[in-house]
Structure 1
């Protein structure tokens, strides 16, 4: 039995944001329908090297595949070397036999499927006439969130803030080159979020950036960065009275932004409105007023990696990409 090896160039060649958005929606629906086994995330923190590694896995009954992703964030990378901050590998196995089908780069998949998740939430929960987006962070995910969002909404302006202001000139150039939006570099979180319809956070901070007073009625929040206990981008008080949607309630109450609101005593788990799969499946209403504050807390799910990796594998095989090797 031969196993396919796909590098980042192969993955990039076959990945389409539009297709990934569709695949992630299908994955959320499968999870909501009980067709997915998704164990708890295994996390390893390496503070002496400013790094962390997560292992996310799942079995998807609908495509009969098992995926395991090992993804790391080493936040000194790019500052004292030429390595990317986010590095990942995905292993794909046949769910009928356990045979390893593919070993592929997971860095780009992680970025794109996370961007797709944010875009899906905005399509469902943001006001339909949303035009202005606040972004916190200037890294790869801060870009990917906008690239994906522009696939589903007519965004005209991005206002971006980062603790590392020197990275924002390149951010502005990249986003304006790849989209039709205007990017405004902001010196403070207050400046970035002013008049924003949608606010997206993509940082690894452990001390929140956005105070409750900055969040206005009608805003949709996409909380991406807090994917591990201890991380915190948003004032927990923002959650009080908001419509809270999680990708996975089990994950978000143990390691997401929702966790911070619960342990702060601002909300209880019963205050969570829904998982996003329920909204896609039409089981619960979406935004119900223009003044409603909606929050999508995403910690990243194995099923997102699974459906995206399977799509990459199928297209790569069809197009003759990658190299085969004898693994067994």
Structure 2
């Protein structure tokens, strides 16, 4: 429901439009939020977008010719919360190893009823939760009926929570597989799984292509330098392959029976590494917001091999960021900065 001016806002100082509450990495790290809360918040943002109440323009991208860095800017409006926000994302050192890279992402929220700023926050935790939540929703809507096995490729930020979120939306999964090349990352995946599902464990696989053939759901979250490249022929009938980062060969997209994307426009911007020899991407059969809203089918046949492209929509960042801001301000977290004085 849309708020009115009489409803309470969560601005740190409602009478002062010259200050901004800044929520740091450490402020947000201590906030407890359940996986189900995250999934519900993200799903609500998609449904509001599908209803035509939110705005999610195409992201802007800046990348130098040598490819050593990339920056994104995303503006959006959440129509159910009446919140406007700007997200920025900057990664430097793409030509170097993971330890030498720098990554910064921020989200600035404004209350569109009062006209006051809500907060500026580090967006790294928002993204680390939002993306696997979207993958879990894609799995819930697009996996074959009775899906029992899942394979996660990659053990970085996005890979570490992929399995707990998948189990949140698909509790019937009984075989969990993982392919990774970093021992510390594999242990981090195990730790996150045990933190949320203490009775579950993950099977580490050495042959990722063979494991993909045994999986009903494949979630590829690996970095650009991964040796994993699951091909279309590796996937069994009915498999859902979700691309978040890297780990899937372009053939999984071009030979899919059905293609679903969170946003076709954003896939055309950020998915160019999946283009064919002519530099083209196939058309999307449906975007995901109408699937969640019940206006389109995620899957039309049990044996369809489905390729799903998970690119972040700023409306989901806004919804989850607003939820974190509510929790943080209720706890008195953050620093009030007289930014416009």
Do these two structures clear the TM 0.5 threshold for a shared fold by scoring above it?
yes
Counterpart residue number, 2:8? none
Residue number among 306, 323, 328 corresponding to 1:294 in the alignment = 306
Residues in 2 aligned to 1:52 and 1:290: alpha-carbon distance in whole angstroms: 39
Q: Which whole-Å deviations, capped at 9, do the CAs of 1:164-205 have from their partners, x for residues lacking one?
A: 344444245324422343222222321331311100011242
- Closer, same or farther: CA 152–325 of 1 in aligned 2, 3 Å: same
Question: Which shifted more, 95-104 or 215-224?
Answer: 95-104
- Closer, same or farther: CA 210–93 of 1 in aligned 2, 3 Å: same
What secondary structure does 1:205 align onto? coil
What secondary structure does 2:295 align onto? coil
Q: What is the RMSD of the two structures over their aligned residues, measured on CA atoms?
A: 2.9
Residue 249 of structure 1 pairs with residue 255 of structure 2: no
Residues in 2 aligned to 1:172 and 1:241: alpha-carbon distance in whole angstroms: 29
Counterpart residue number, 2:285? 273
Counterpart residue number, 2:333? 321
Q: Gaps spanning 5+ residues in structure 2: where? A: 1-15
Counterpart residue number, 1:308? 320
Residues in 2 aligned to 1:305 and 1:73: alpha-carbon distance in whole angstroms: 18
Q: Is the Cα contact below 8 Å between 2:161 and 2:192 reproduced in 1? A: no
Q: Tell me the CA shift for residue 50 of structure 1.
A: 4.8
Residues in 2 aligned to 1:253 and 1:262: alpha-carbon distance in whole angstroms: 15
**Structure (1 or 2) with the greater helix fraction:** 1
Residue 234 of structure 1 pairs with residue 253 of structure 2: no
Residue 120 of structure 1 pairs with residue 120 of structure 2: no
Counterpart residue number, 2:205? 186
1:1-328 pair list within 5 angstroms: 1=16, 2-12=19-29, 13-45=31-63, 50-74=68-92, 79-80=99-100, 86-96=103-113, 98-154=115-171, 155-162=173-180, 164-178=181-195, 179=197, 180-205=199-224, 209-225=229-245, 233-236=248-251, 238-256=253-271, 260=275, 267=282, 269=283, 272-328=284-340
Q: Which whole-Å deviations, capped at 9, do the CAs of 1:40-96 have from their partners, x for residues lacking one?
A: 21223368795433222212233221111122345657535xx8x653211111224
Q: Tell me the CA shift for residue 149 of structure 1.
A: 1.2
Q: Tell me the CA shift for residue 37 of structure 1.
A: 2.3
Indicate the structure (1 or 2) with the bigger Cα radius of gyration.
Answer: 2
Q: Gaps spanning 5+ residues in structure 1: where? A: 227-231
Residues in 1 aligned to 2:48 and 2:310: alpha-carbon distance in whole angstroms: 17
Residues in 2 aligned to 1:30 and 1:319: alpha-carbon distance in whole angstroms: 28
Aligned residue pair count:
316
Question: Which shifted more, 19-28 or 286-295?
Answer: 286-295
- Closer, same or farther: CA 220–86 of 1 in aligned 2, 3 Å: farther
Give TM-score, length-normalised by structure 2. 0.82
Question: Which shifted more, 171-180 or 213-222?
Answer: 171-180
What secondary structure does 2:139 align onto? helix
Residues in 1 aligned to 2:334 and 2:62: alpha-carbon distance in whole angstroms: 30
Q: Is the Cα contact below 8 Å between 1:201 and 1:225 reproduced in 2? A: yes
Q: Is the Cα contact below 8 Å between 1:175 and 1:183 reproduced in 2? A: no
What secondary structure does 1:133 align onto? strand
Q: Tell me the CA shift for residue 17 of structure 1.
A: 2.1
Give TM-score, length-normalised by structure 1. 0.85
- Closer, same or farther: CA 39–262 of 1 in aligned 2, 3 Å: farther
Q: Is the Cα contact below 8 Å between 1:257 and 1:297 reproduced in 2? A: no
Counterpart residue number, 1:229? none
Q: Is the Cα contact below 8 Å between 2:106 and 2:120 reproduced in 1? A: yes
